[in-house]
Amino acid sequence: MQLFYAPDLEPPYHTLDEEESKHCIRVLRLGVGGRLHLTDGRGNLYEAEITDADPRRCTVRIVATHAEFEKMPYALTMGVAPTKNPDRFEWFLEKATEVGVTEVVPLETAHSERRTFKAQRSEKVITAAMKQSLKAYRPTLHELTPLREFVARPFAGRSFIAHCAAARSQGGKAFLASALRPGEPVRILIGPEGDFSAEEIDFALAHGFGEITLGPQRLRTETAALTAVIMAATVNGPLLCGE
């Protein structure tokens, strides 16, 4: 199945942009009557038939709609400090999109090695991963957000902070996979390569975040973030096999 992204799609007809039209007609060699699938990234999977095979403005007619296609049974928000090497953060975005994530919030922290975040390329990475993994839900990528601002936001679910320092709460750190409960909204904080500061950890704990560990290994930021995503997906059901 070939999946095309059309965020502004309004049935019954839709015209692909020039890049998507060229891919459809020139690369896939589809013509009038050919079938393809589209998504608006909001859970709708559309089956469509080509009515005009123009390689610059390919027009399709929607013939079937599947709402809430493969909707995740949980909501996962990841707050992650962007890595010094942009490629590593983009790798996380790609893999997290494949596995399943609702929102990603790049965090500005005390030890952050990147103080700016340009989302344009990262948005393209997310879109490509969504299409490649045949998903109808596109994760939301937010702007760079100060940690304290993100922590203080109201959240209808449970919140966790992963860090490498000694436990600061009486209950100690919980293993994330054991702490998660199926079906619940969750947000998880993953710090920069220099970890969160003591003050940031205390601030999160004061706002209801639970301390967690991802295991005994010391992980890179992007590896830790993806590990958390995979744990959440596993707790909520078996992962689908890829092609």
The span from the CA of 145 to the CA of 122, in Å, is 16
Give domain status of residue 80, yes or no. yes
Whether 138 and 107 share a structural domain? yes
Whether 38 and 117 share a structural domain? no
The span from the CA of 1 to the CA of 202, in Å, is 48
Q: Which of 13, 34, 66 is the last residue of a domain?
A: 66
Residue from 202, 164, 209 nearest 186 by CA: 209
Supply the range of the domain harboring residue 41. 3-66
What is the mean predicted confidence (pLDDT) over 207-211?
97
Give domain status of residue 198, yes or no. yes
Which CATH number does the domain housing residue 46 bear? Answer: 2.40.240.20
Residue 27 burial by CB count (10 A; 0-12/13-18/19+): exposed, middle or buried? exposed
Whether 23 and 103 share a structural domain? no
Give domain status of residue 95, yes or no. yes
What is the mean predicted confidence (pLDDT) over 198-206?
97
Which CATH number does the domain housing residue 116 bear? Answer: 3.40.1280.10
* pTM for the predicted model, two decimal places: 0.93
In tens, the pLDDT along 92-129 reads 999 999 999 999 999 999 999 888 899 999 999 999 99
Whether 62 and 121 share a structural domain? no
Give domain status of residue 172, yes or no. yes
Whether 17 and 104 share a structural domain? no
In tens, the pLDDT along 133-153 reads 999 999 999 999 999 999 999
Q: Does the pLDDT at position 242 exceed 80?
A: no
Q: How many residues does the chain have?
A: 243
The span from the CA of 29 to the CA of 5, in Å, is 18
Cβ atoms of 224 and 114 closer than 8 Å: no
One DSSP character per residue, 37-50 reads EEE-SBS-EEEEEE
